[in-house]
Amino acid sequence: MFESLTERLTGVLAKLRGRGTLNEEDVTAALREIRIALLEADVHYQVVKELVGQIRERAIGAEVFQSLTPGQQVVKIVRDALTEAMGGERTTLTLERRPSVILLVGLQGSGKTTTAAKLAATLTKEGKRPLLAACDLQRPAAIDQIEQLAADLGVPVVSRVDPSPAKVAAAAVDRAKEAGRDVVLVDSAGRLQIDEEMMAQLEEIAGAVEPDETLLVVDAMAGQEAASVASTFDERIGLTGVVLAKLDGDARGGAALSVRHVTGKPIVYVGTGEKTDRLEAFHPGRMADRVLGMGDVLTLIEEAEAQLDQEKAEALVERISKDRFTLQDFMEQIEEMQKLGPVSQILDRLPGGAKLKGQAAAGVDEFDMGRTLAILRSMTLQERHQPSIIGGSRKKRIARGSGTKVRDVNRVLSRFEEAKRALKLMGGRRGKGRLPADWLRTP
């Protein structure tokens, strides 16, 4: 995400950082390029105007020109301005009532139904007991979709109890009270564009359940149009926050940088993938760092702590120290890595990740990782625990079972031996039981 914007901004700021001194002409030229980069990223023109004006006011001052590192001072000013434009501080949901009600609204195709399920998964991890209300009666597939997602999550759903969306929502609140559920997530219907019928329906739902939070789900790829959509919804039903969906797609950055500045409503969450665990809390400062190519290591650490099994890691360290690292461990480590998301998404959160992406594309890719897992899963448990028994006939069977070639099986076995040697050399301590960074390189 933001790949083009990040590339442009980092290029402009790199020129400033490389100079020992700066004058007003240098800053003016840089601001001109920043303005063009923001407009090309589909940031709302009013936001661009105010952002550039704010940066100019701070950058053309004594604290920059008298600084020993004026270029770095300008980078800090740009980062602070971006952070403020996106809200400044992290905004959390207010869920004090029992049950609290969260109404999700937005245009058709924005990702409301998936976001409802993602939010249910997130709240469950936080110790809440959510319940879903399927109130999108305009699109029959939406009810089937939310029922399937709810079943996968083990979360109850109220649907098909009445032809009126408002009555379905009210029934969901009653069911939540009876079942001791503390949050009701209401998935409402959308349209291809805002119309009176949709707004009237939303007002009826809001009147029936009195939501504690009304969150607008917008497609991050909508650019500055997302800001005008948010303004219209806010005027009619009153928003409390925004969820940016599909931020893992071809998002140019316009929505993230425009919504808060134009509407005054905070971005609360961002969706970064299709799976129900791909919903992140929105931190303006961290997002500004990502836009400027500085990475977001804090979020990566938080995800690792939440997703990776620490007990497994500790047990693995012990086995490595005793030279008992097996193909079963090798497979489990790859599966653990996959919990953090695609390689490209992990690189997005590392400082300088954009440059690393090119190297990753040439070495570590999702297809290669998937093929490796297919080969390992085609082995028997005995083979994974005793790799020495894998001879020619077994390799042929494993290759057939995984849809690969014998040479691919040999390659995986070779990488396993390399990883085993490297981990033994580290004693399983410095790497904390994790695989070496280059274990999956393409020969």
| Residues 195, 59 within the same domain | no
CA atoms within 13 A on the CB side of 394: 16
* Residue located via tokens 């149009």: 225
Is 33 inside a domain boundary?
Answer: yes
Q: Which of 401, 337, 322, 416 is nearest to 369 (CA)?
A: 337
Q: Could you check whether the bond before residue 342 is cis, i.e. omega within 30 degrees of 0?
A: no
Assigned domain for 151 exists = yes
pLDDT of residue 149: 92
Q: Of 294, 315, 350, at which residue does a domain stop?
A: 294
Phi, psi for residue 89 in degrees, rounded to 5: -120, 155
Q: For every one of its 443 residues, what pLDDT tens digit does the chain have, with 9 covering 90 and above?
A: 566 777 778 788 777 776 666 778 888 888 888 888 888 888 888 888 988 888 888 887 666 666 657 777 778 888 888 888 888 888 899 898 999 999 999 888 888 899 999 999 999 999 999 999 999 888 778 889 999 999 999 999 998 888 899 999 999 999 999 999 999 999 998 877 778 888 889 999 999 999 999 999 988 777 677 777 888 888 888 899 999 887 765 556 677 788 887 788 888 998 887 888 888 888 888 888 777 776 545 555 555 555 555 666 666 666 666 777 788 888 887 777 766 666 555 555 555 555 544 444 444 455 577 888 899 999 999 999 999 899 999 999 999 999 999 999 998 898 888 877 776 665 544 444 444 444 444 33
Q: Are residues 259 and 379 in the same domain?
A: no
**C-alpha torsion angle, residues 217, 222, 224, 228 (rounded to 10):** -50
Assigned domain for 279 exists: yes
One domain for residues 69 and 159: no
Cα of first residue to Cα of last residue in the chain, in angstroms, is 29
- Give the C-alpha distances (Å, rounded to integers) separating 13 from 1, 18, 54, 90, 107: 19, 9, 16, 26, 37
| Alpha-carbon gap, residue 156 to 147, rounded angstroms | 8
| Domain contains 443 | no
Alpha-carbon separation of residue 204 from 24, 135, 387 (angstroms): 56, 12, 64
Cross-strand bridge partners of residue 105: 216
Cα–Cα distance measured from residue 37 to residue 407, given in angstroms and rounded to the nearest whole number:
47
Provide the CATH number for the domain around residue 332: 1.10.260.30
Only one residue has tokens 């497979």, namely: 331
Secondary structure tally for the chain: helices H, strands E: 21, 8
Note the pTM of the prediction, 2 decimals: 0.66
- Does 163 sit behind a cis peptide bond, omega within 30 degrees of 0 on the bond before it? no
The DSSP output letter for 265 is: P
**Is there a single domain that holds both residue 252 and residue 232?**
yes
In a domain, 222, yes or no: yes
Residues 24 and 148 in one domain: no
Q: Are residues 286 and 166 in the same domain?
A: yes
* Range list of H helices, 44-164: 45-59, 62-65, 70-85, 112-125, 140-153
Residues 286 and 363 in one domain: no
Q: What local confidence, expressed as pLDDT, does residue 362 receive?
A: 41
| Residues 269 and 393 placed together within one structural domain of the fold | no
Number of structural domains found in the chain: 3
Does 330 share its domain with 248? Answer: no
Q: Closest Cα partner for 243 from 353, 106, 335, 380?
A: 106
Q: In what order do the strands lie in the sheet with 279-281?
A: 157-158, 130-135, 183-188, 100-105, 213-219, 241-245, 267-271, 279-281
CB 34, CB 12: distance < 8 Å = yes
CA angle, residues 51, 53, 55, in degrees to nearest 5: 70
Which residues is 135 bridged to in the sheet?
188
Tell me whether residue 260 is in a domain. Answer: yes
- Distance, in Å, from the CA atom of 187 to the CA atom of 170, rounded to the nearest integer, reads 13
Residue with tokens 């804090």: 298
Domain co-membership, 331 together with 216 = no
Instruction: Provide the CATH number for the domain around residue 23.
Output: 1.20.120.140
CATH code assigned at 221: 3.40.50.300
- Shared domain for 352 and 385, answered yes or no, is yes
**Residue 306 domain boundaries:** 302-426
In the numeric block, the tokens 């790799």 are attached to 387
- Res 158: pLDDT: 92
Tokens of 350: 């590392």
Q: Do 367 and 404 sit in the same domain of this protein?
A: yes
**Inside any domain, residue 236:** yes
